[in-house]
Homo-oligomer: A and B are copies of this chain.
Amino acid sequence: MLSQVAQDRSPVHFRMHQFLARENEKPEAMLHLQEGWACRYRLLPDGRRQITGLYLPGDYCDPQWALGGLPSQPIVAITNVRALQLPCRASHAGLDGHNGFGQALSDVIERQANWLVTLGRKTAMERVAHLLVELFERMRKAGLAYGQQCAMPLTQIEIADMTGLTPVHVNRTLQSMRAKGLVELQSKWLRIPELQALREVGALTPQEAAA
């Protein structure tokens, strides 16, 4: 099993804002996150930034490295990160969806497609709702949700870079959501009183945010 491979390796640590991978640099190993959050992003010449992927505890970083090629986007730690290393080529024998890597690859493609819909066609409130629902459900799958709440280390600037909005508008949108009782969000903790209500606000189809 992959987990056994992983457990043969000693854990590595990254501080907040440290790079897990850089553009066009061959990664030393695939990482299996044990603790902490990270993100993949691209920076435009004029400073605009778009986050293109989030890595939460339990996620592989990055499954596509098993396919060969070099990372085209940097990956940076959002919080301090602890991870296990595993060789990028450990998985060649079976990427068929019946093991972790195939599923992880599917999830990446699925989530990216969902975000294309959100960034292309949804309003600010729908975008933020999508993000919060996805975060909560992924944390819950990782066993890191406690009732209706989970940790949420993202700053409003990072939420903006994820949702394609400005930090100012993210702030106004969150306040509006708080006023409606849709979310409680303070000191890095997220609480969602009614998940189904927030899913509807986010215009999430049944298959979305399930991945």
Q: Per DSSP, are chain A's interface residues mostly helix, strand or loop, or mixed? A: mixed
- A residues in contact (CB < 8 Å) with B: 23-24, 40, 42, 44-46, 48-50, 52-53, 64, 66-69, 72-73, 89, 92, 94-98, 102-103, 105-106, 108-110, 112-117, 119-122, 163-164, 203, 205, 207
CA of A154 to CA of B22, assembled, Å = 36
**Which has the most chain B C-beta neighbours within 10 Å: A23, A45, A72, A116?**
A116
In the complex, what residues of B have CB within 8 A of residue A53's CB? Answer: 113
Return A18 CB to nearest CB of chain B, in Å. Answer: 21
Do the beta carbons of A106 and B68 come within 8 Å of each other?
A: yes
B residues near A119, Cβ cutoff 8 Å? 116, 119-120, 164
Which residues of chain B come closer than 8 Å to A108, judged between CB atoms? 109
Give Cα A31–Cα B29 distance, bound, in whole angstroms.
Answer: 33
Q: Indicate if the CB atoms of A44 and B113 lie closer than 8 Å.
A: no
Query: Among B24, B52, B64, which residue has its beta carbon within 8 angstroms of that of A117?
Result: B52
Q: How far is the CB of A134 from chain B (nearest CB, A)?
A: 14
Which residues of chain B come closer than 8 Å to A121, judged between CB atoms? 44, 48-50, 164
**Once the chains are docked, how many angstroms separate the CA of A112 from the CA of B50?**
13
Say yes or no: B69 contacts A117, CB within 8 Å: no
Q: Once the chains bind, are B106 and A109 in contact (CB under 8 Å)?
A: no
A95 to B46, CA, bound (A): 37
A64 to B97, CA, bound (A): 10
Q: Contact: A97 with B67, CB < 8 Å? A: yes
A72 CA / B109 CA spacing, docked (Å): 11
Of B68, B112, B205, which contacts A116 at CB under 8 A? B112
Whole-angstrom distance between the alpha carbons of A69 and B42 in the complex?
29
Known A-B contacts A109-B108, A112-B109, A205-B44; A94 and B96 likewise in contact (beta carbons under 8 Å): no
Determine the chain B residues whose CB is within 8 A of the CB of A49 once the complex forms.
121
